[in-house]
Amino acid sequence: MNRIYLASQSPRRRELLKQIGIRFDLLLLRNDPRRQIDVNELPLVQESPDVYVERVCREKALAAQEALRLRALRAAPILTADTVVTINGEIIGKPDDNAHATEILRKLSGGTHEVITAVAVALAERTVCRVVTTRIRFAV
C-alpha cells in the first residue's frame, strides 16, 4: 500500500491512522514567512465555526502541498484536519494553562456543546474536504 502524508501535529490523529493500518509520513508545517508557508488559524470576523474549521483545514492542505514542492518530496495524498469545540456558536480555543482548562470544563459541564471537525485530502490540484458536527451532552 502506498503511503500518505499526515500534515498534523496531533498525536491522536497519528494513533487513529495506525489503528486502521494506514501507513503515513509526517509532514509538519512550520510557519515560515521566508518560504510563504503560513496558515491563518484566527477566526475571521463573523466567520461561523463550521466555515472557520473548513477554511483552516483547506489552508493546511494548501500549505502542505507547498511544503512538498519546496522540500522536493515525492507526490502523495496529503491528509489534514482541524477540530474546534463550540458553545452556542462560540469557538472555545485550546487552554492556555490549568486554570483556563478548568474554566473551559466548567463552561462545558452540564450543557450541550458541539465538536466540529474538518478533514481534507489533497492530491495534485484537487482537495476534497468534509465537515462533521457532533453534539455532546457533558454531565455535571
Report the 3 state secondary structure along 82-117: EEEEEECCEEECCCCCHHHHHHHHHHHCCCEEEEEE
Q: What pLDDT is attached to residue 50?
A: 95
Say if residues 60 and 78 touch (Cβ distance below 8 Å). no
Residues 137 and 128: their CA atoms lie apart, in Å, by 30
In this prediction the pTM is 0.87
**Tens digits of per-residue pLDDT, 11-25?**
999 999 999 999 999
CATH number for domain 4-137, candidates 3.10.450.50, 3.90.950.10, 3.40.50.300, 3.55.40.20 = 3.90.950.10
- What are the grid coordinates assigned to 53, written together? 474549521
Domain ranges of the chain: 4-137
Establish whether 50 is a catalytic residue: no
3-class secondary-structure state, position 66: helix
**Tens digits of per-residue pLDDT, 74-105?**
999 999 999 999 998 899 988 899 999 999 99
Q: Which of 25, 38, 50, 82 is catalytic?
A: 82
Q: Beta-carbon neighbour count of residue 118 at 10 Å?
A: 24
